[in-house]
Amino acid sequence: MTTQTQRPRSWPTPLTVGMPSGPTVARHLKGYGNYLLHHALPPILVTGALLLLWQLLASGPTSTLPPPTQVISDTWDLIVDPFYNHGGTDVGMGWQILASLERVAYGFLLAVVAGVSLGVLIGQSTWAMRGLDPVFQVLRTVPPLAWLPLSLAAFQDSNPSAIFVIFITAIWPIIINTSVGVRNIPEDYRNVSRVLRLNGAEYFTKIMLPAAAPYIFSGLRIGVGLSWLAIVAAEMLIGGVGIGFFIWDAWNSSMISDIVLALLYVGIVGFMLDRLVAFIGNRVTRGTVAG
C-alpha cells in the first residue's frame, strides 16, 4: 500500500540520445519537427499577430506612436552599432545597458550579503525577529524611488545613490526568504549536527546554507527582478549613462522610436537576469530537495 502516486514522465521522445541508424534519423528529424511545431510555432504566431496589430493601429495619419517598421528604420543606427562612443552620454545602447547592469550588480551584491546575513539572524534568533520584523515590515513597503532623495542627501553623489536604491529594493525579499528558509530547516538536520557536535561555523556552511538555499534563491530571484525595475526609474532621475536616462533623454528629444527600442532591451535584459539567477539557483541547489 504505497501512498505515493506515480507520475508519468513525459519527455519529448525525440530528445533521446544514441546512435540512430538511417530510418531512426528520419524519425528523429520528424520528432524535432513536431517539437518545433508545438513549442516554437505558438510564440512566433502570437508575436507576429501582435506586431501586425501594432502596425495597423499606429499607421494612421493621426497616430501618436510609430509603427514597428518606422521604429526599425528610425533606430537602425542604434541597432547595428550598440557600442559606439561619441563622448558624454551619447554612447551606444550596449554601453547604456552595461552601465545600468553595473549599478545593479553593485547594489544587488551588497543586498545579497546584507540580506542573507540579516535573514539568517532573524531566522535563528526569535529575539532578533521580534525586534526587527516590525521595522522590516514597514520599510519594505516604501517604494524604491522614495529612497532616492534621502540617499542623494546622504551620499551627495548620484551613482552611490542609485546603487543604494537598488540595494534597498532588493534586500527585503532576500531577508524574508532567507529567514523563512532558516526557520524551516528540518529538526532532523539540527539533530544530526548536534550529534556530530558541529560548531557554529560548520553548522552555518554545512547545514544551514544548503538547507535554506532553495528559499534564498527564490528571494534572490525576486530581488534581482525588483532591482531591474528600480534602476530604470532611478536613472531617469539621476542622469548620466544608463538605460533609464537614455529613455528619459529620448522622451525629451521626442525620439519615440528610441524609447520603444530601449524598452525592448530592458525587457530582454530583465528576462535574462531572472533566468541567470534561476540557473545558478538550480545548479547550486541541485539535490537539495529532500528524498
Partner 1 sequence: MSSKYLNIENVHKTFGQGASATRVLKDINLKVDKGEFIALIGHSGCGKSTVLNIVAGLLDATEGGVILDGKEVNAPGPDRSVVFQNHSLLPWLTVYENVALAVNKTFKGKKSAAERRQWTLHHLEMVNMGHALDKRPAEISGGMKQRVGIARALAMEPKVLLLDEPFGALDALTRAHLQDEVMRIQTELNNTVLMITHDVDEAVLLSDRIVMMTNGPEATIGEILDVELPRPRDRIALSDDPAYNHYRHEVLRFLHEKQRKVERIQRPAAKESAAAVKSGAVA
Stretch that binds partner 1, among 36-44, 164-172, 184-192, 229-237 (CB under 8 A): 184-192
Given a contact cutoff of 8 angstroms between Cβ atoms, the answer to whether 181 and 214 are in contact is: yes
Rounded to a whole number of angstroms, the minimum distance from the CB of residue 222 to partner 1 is 22
**Residue 204 contacts partner 1 per CB under 8 A:** no
Residues 208-227 that bind partner 1 (CB under 8 A): 210-211, 213
Given a contact cutoff of 8 angstroms between Cβ atoms, the answer to whether 119 and 111 are in contact is: no
**Residue 30 contacts partner 1 per CB under 8 A:** no
Nearer to partner 1, 207 or 230 (CB): 207
Q: Which one, of 180, 108, 95, 96, lies nearest residue 144 by Cα?
A: 108
Rounded to a whole number of angstroms, the minimum distance from the CB of residue 213 to partner 1 is 8
Q: Please report the DSSP string for 128-175 in residue order.
A: HHHHHHHHHHHHTTS-GGGHHHHHHHHHSSHHHHHHHHHHHHHHHHHH
Write the single-letter amino acid at 75: T
Rounded to a whole number of angstroms, the minimum distance from the CB of residue 184 to partner 1 is 14
Residue from the set 38, 39, 130, 194 that interacts with partner 1 by CB under 8 A: 194
Residue from the set 4, 17, 88, 188 that interacts with partner 1 by CB under 8 A: 188
SS3 call for 253: coil
**Residue 207 contacts partner 1 per CB under 8 A:** yes
Place of cell 532623495: 149
Place of cell 552611490: 160
Size of site (CB under 8 A) for partner 1? 22
**Residue 195 contacts partner 1 per CB under 8 A:** yes
Rounded to a whole number of angstroms, the minimum distance from the CB of residue 57 to partner 1 is 52
Compute CA distances 228 → 15, 149, 231, 246, whole Å.
35, 19, 5, 15
Residue from the set 196, 263, 268, 272 that interacts with partner 1 by CB under 8 A: 196
Cα(97)–Cα(106) distance, integer angstroms: 14
What is the binding site for partner 1 (CB under 8 A)? Answer: 188-189, 191-192, 194-198, 202, 206-207, 210-211, 213, 285-291
